[in-house]
Amino acid sequence: MLFVLLKESVLFAWQSLVSNKLRSFLSLLGITIGIFAIILVFTIVDGLESNIRGSVESLGNNVVYVQKWPWSFGPDYPWWKYINRPTPQYYELDELQRRCKTTEAVAYRIGARKTIKYRSNSIKNAVVAGISHDFYKIKNFDLSSGRYFTQNETEAGYRLVLIGAEIAAGLFGDEDPIGKQIKISGHKSTVIGVIKKEGESLLGMSFDYQVVTPYNFARYIMDVRSERSDPTIYVKAKPNVSNAEMMDELTGVLRGLRKIKPIADQNFALNETSLLSKAFDALFDIIGTAGWIIGGFSILVGGFGIANIMFVSVRERTNLIGIQKSLGAKNIFILFQFLSESVLLSFIGGFFGLLLTFIITELGKDAMGMDISLSSANIILGFTISILIGIISGFIPAYSASQLDPVEAIRTN
């Protein structure tokens, strides 16, 4: 009986929607815009969050960064305590490698923007990174051609470079870069490898636009003591060693290395990706709340539109309701009949809202420069919201229709 009741209610609802095309279209438009607004916001936020978290994870969950500045600050940020801190120095790398027992690898990196030239082709403001040999053990990257530096080449500061995929395309086009000489701020160096294309990184860490060279060569083409070169010591923990354990050891070794008194504050920062993750968690919570508020107003407008249309529909069909009741139709049938119309109307509006969201996200992928797609979770959310809005908006009109007196309803013109 329930199935028959539901089937007949849906059929009545569909006939009503078809017979009032303009009114149905206007109601659909309201709920379509509402679902489109809220699901589009969530889809973009999901895409942004996925890209940012992917970029954060590429930094390494078991890697600690020894730097001058911390990645996160409290509300009362005492910048004057940090500005006079020393930057990490290359000699500290050797001491950390020798003294630390919890580390699997320790590496050093500096970077600066330089002009790269090959014959008549040039790229301005390319990132040139000077690294120590074990950098590849911490920051994984694949080579599409060529090879990595040998230990001797790194320590001796050979004039060799690895170039990113976009650098290779900009300088060489279809020509094979391996063995060719490029100029970095006038200094000649030989290309020995091309880094496989990684794609965009929202944190700016992609190797596609970088030139990587041994530190002992990089120090001749950039100011290694300048804070602008962002000197950083990368430290990777051994398997089964937590970041907290490694940071405790690093703190003790660095305080001893820099001769910091027991009661004095440390003059270095130990940063890890969890600091970024926590900051982004708070950011995405705010964006998600804003999405609910923006979409909520749109949905509210659509819901009022459906409720208004349903009241008009009840008033127009009062006479028909009276006839149905006089022929034995139960109150529950009348209730289901109008509630089904409201839910069906809202469901169709939700479908078109999701379809519009899908089209916009597919067209906007390239323009936004990140991977965004309508997920199954957001599709389910969109339909769920649509059905709930249909039930909430249509219940009072449907209930009022089910309580009409059949005699009074038949007399209504």
- Please tell me whether residues 97 and 223 are part of one structural domain: yes
Which pLDDT score is estimated for 130?
93
Q: Are 130 and 259 in contact (CB under 8 A)?
A: no
Query: What angle, 0 to 180 degrees and rounded to 10, lies between the N-to-C axes of helices 21-58 and 2-19?
Result: 110
Q: Are residues 252 and 310 in the same domain?
A: no
Q: Does some domain include residue 377? A: yes
Distances (CA, A) of 154 to 148, 187, 197: 10, 17, 23
Query: What are residue 65's phi and psi, to 5 degrees?
Result: -110, 120
Same domain, 141 and 113: yes
Q: What is the dihedral of CA 24, 26, 30, 36, to 10 degrees?
A: 80
- Would you say 195 and 112 are in contact if contact means Cβ atoms under 8 Å apart? no
How many other C-beta atoms are found inside a 10 Å radius of the C-beta of residue 88? 23
- Sign of the CA dihedral running 12, 15, 19, 20: positive
Distance CA 407, CA 268 (A): 86
Taking alpha carbons only, the member of 235, 278, 271 closest to residue 53 is 278
Q: Considering 221, 242, 267, which residue would you say is the last residue of a domain?
A: 267
The structural domain count of the chain equals: 2
Please tell me whether residues 225 and 107 are part of one structural domain: yes
User: Distance between CA 238 and CA 101 in Å, rounded?
Assistant: 9
Q: What is the dihedral of CA 386, 391, 397, 399, to 10 degrees?
A: 170
Which SS3 state, helix, strand or coil, does residue 105 take? strand
Residue 246: inside a domain, yes or no?
yes
Residues 112 and 224 in one domain: yes
Q: Of 267, 292, 316, which residue constitutes the final position of a domain? A: 267
Same domain, yes or no, for 126 and 240? yes
**Is residue 367 in some structural domain?**
yes
* Tens-level pLDDT at each residue, the chain (413 residues): 555 555 655 666 566 666 666 666 766 777 788 788 778 878 887 777 777 666 665 555 678 889 888 877 666 667 777 788 888 999 899 889 999 999 989 999 999 999 999 988 999 988 999 999 999 888 878 899 999 999 999 999 999 999 999 999 999 988 999 999 999 988 999 999 999 988 766 555 678 889 999 999 998 888 887 888 889 999 998 888 888 899 999 999 999 988 888 888 888 888 887 666 666 777 777 777 777 777 777 777 778 877 877 787 777 777 877 877 777 777 877 787 778 778 888 888 888 888 988 888 887 766 665 667 788 888 888 888 888 888 888 888 888 888 887 777 777 65
CA distance 339 to 276: 48
For residue 244, tell me if it sits in a domain.
yes
219 found inside a domain: yes
> Tokens 């109601």 label which residue?
27
Co-location of 50 and 189 in the same domain: no
Query: Is the domain of 238 the same as that of 296?
Result: no
Q: Could you tell me if residue 394 is inside a domain?
A: yes
Q: Do residues 237 and 100 lie in contact, with contact meaning Cβ atoms separated by under 8 Å? A: no
- Residues spanned by the domain of 122: 86-267
Residues 195, 332: one domain?
no
Specify the 3-state DSSP secondary structure of 367.
Answer: helix
pLDDT of residue 147: 94
Q: Which residues contact 385 (CB under 8 A, 6 or more apart)?
A: 35, 38, 299, 350
One domain for residues 171 and 298: no
286 in the same domain as 313: yes
In a domain, 347, yes or no: yes
Rounded CA separation 374/363 (Å): 12
Cα 64 to Cα 77, 88, 255, 350, 367: the distances in Å are 22, 13, 16, 46, 34
Are both 249 and 125 inside the same structural domain?
Answer: yes
What is the model's pLDDT at position 329? Answer: 73
Of 267, 299, 317, the residue that ends a domain is 267
| pLDDT at res. 178 | 94
Tell me if 211 is assigned to some domain: yes
